[in-house]
A and B are shown apart, each in its own frame.
Chain A
Amino acid sequence: MAAVRPRIKLDKKEAKKGDLVEVKALVSHIMETGLRKDADGNVIPRKILNKFICMVAGKQVFAADFETSISANPYIQFKFRAEESGSVVLTWVDDDGSTIVGQESITVS
C-alpha cells in the first residue's frame, strides 16, 4: 500500500502547562465494511483501520477502537492536557497489520 500521509492539526503548537490542546486528524482510507458486494455479487472483503492511538511525549493520552461503522477517510478530533514538551504521535492500525503514522510536536512552557 502506498504510504498514506495523515493530515494532522493541533490548535496550538505552544501551550502553557495544563492547557487543553485540540487535535484534528484526517487520514485517507477506504474503510471497506466487508458487507458490500461488487457488481458480480462477490463480497468485497473487509479492510478498515481498526485502532487509533495518540501518544504525547511517549504517554498514551487517547485511543479509539474503530469498527466498520466509521466513515471512509476517518476523521478524529479530541483534546489532551499539555503536560510536557514532546512529540505527538498518531498511529492508525489497519486490518492487515500495517500502520499509518503521523507526527507533530508540542512545546509546553
Chain B
Amino acid sequence: MGLGSLTMLFNRRKVLALGAGAMGAALVGAPALAKNDSDAVIQEFTGGKKPVKGKVKLDLPEIAENGNTVPMTVMVDSPMTEQSHVTDVLIVAPENPRARVVTFHFSPASGVAEANTRIRLAATQDVIAIAKMNDGSLFMTSKPVKVTVGGCGG
C-alpha cells in the first residue's frame, strides 16, 4: 500500500492540515496496487471477455488540479444505426474508493456515442473506458491523469 492510499484513510480536512508538503510527498508515492473493486466491476461489465483496444476515445486533462471535479468526455467511433451501435460505456477509476464511476447507456437515437460529465478522482491513475456494442463486442481505452489534490472525500 503506497503513501497515497494511506492519506485516503484520513479526513480530508486533517490531510490538508498536515500541510501541502506532506500532501505532495504522499501523492508522489508509487501507485498502489488496485485496492478497490475495479477488477470485479470490469468482469461484471464484460462478462469475462477481453475488450479490444481502440474505437473509444477518452478526453481527460493530463493534470487535474482539483480531483473533486475533473471534466471527462468519452467518445466511441460507431455509426449508431439499428444494425451497429454502442449500447453501454463504463468508466472505471481503479484508484478511487469505488471503482465504478459512471455507466452511459446509448441507443441508435443518440445519433453519436458521446457524453461529457465531471468526475471525482482520488489519486493519480489510469482511467479506463470500456464500450459495449450491440453485437456484444467490447472496446476499451485508458488515459493517465495526474491528480494534485484528490477528491475522494475519504
Interface residue ranges, A against B (CB under 8 Å): 20, 33, 35-37, 41, 56, 59-72, 74-81, 83
Tell me the bound Cα distance from A36 to B102 in angstroms: 20
Asked if residues B101 and A67 are in contact (CB atoms below 8 Å), the reply is: yes
In the assembled complex, the CB of A8 is this many whole angstroms from the nearest CB of chain B, namely 15
Task: Say yes or no: A69 contacts B111, CB within 8 Å.
Answer: no
State the CA gap A2–B80 with chains docked (Å): 39
A80–B151 Cα gap in the complex (Å)? 31
- Sample 30 A-B pairs with CB under 8 A, ordered by A number: A20-B111, A33-B152, A35-B153, A36-B11, A36-B153, A36-B154, A59-B109, A61-B109, A61-B110, A62-B105, A62-B110, A63-B105, A64-B103, A67-B101, A67-B102, A68-B97, A70-B118, A70-B119, A72-B68, A72-B69, A75-B117, A76-B117, A77-B116, A79-B110, A80-B109, A80-B110, A81-B80, A81-B108, A81-B109, A81-B112
B101 touches A56 (CB 8 A): no
Interface residues on B, range: 35 or more
* B130 contacts A by Cβ under 8 Å: no
Write the nearest CB–CB distance from A81 to chain B, whole angstroms.
3
Structural contact, B153 and A67, CB atoms closer than 8 A: no
Residues on B with beta carbons closer than 8 Å to the beta carbon of A69 = 93, 96, 98, 100-102, 119-121
CB of B55 within 8 Å of the partner chain: no
Question: Do the beta carbons of A70 and B107 come within 8 Å of each other?
Answer: no
- Chain A residues whose CB sits within 8 angstroms of the CB of B102 once the complex forms: 64-67, 69-70
B114 touches A79 (CB 8 A): yes
Instruction: Please measure, in the bound complex, the distance between the C-alpha atom of A35 and the C-alpha atom of B122, giving whole angstroms.
Output: 12
A2 to B70 CA separation, bound complex (whole angstroms): 28
Contact B110 A78 (CB under 8 A): yes
Task: A42 to B117: give the CA distance in the assembly, Å.
Answer: 30
Output the least CB separation between A60 and chain B (Å): 7
Least Cβ–Cβ distance between B91 and chain A, in angstroms: 8
Q: Are B107 and A60 in contact (CB under 8 A)?
A: yes
What CA separation (Å) do A79 and B108 show in the bound complex? 11
Residue on A nearest B98 in the bound complex, by CB: A68
How far is A83 from B68 in the complex, measured between Cα atoms in Å?
37
Interface string of B35-64 (1 = CB under 8 A from A): 000000000000000000000000000000
Chain B residues contacting A78 (CB-CB under 8 Å) are 104, 110, 114-116
State the CA gap A22–B12 with chains docked (Å).
Answer: 36
- Is B139 interfacial (CB 8 A cutoff)? no
* Nearest-CB residue, chain A, relative to B68: A71
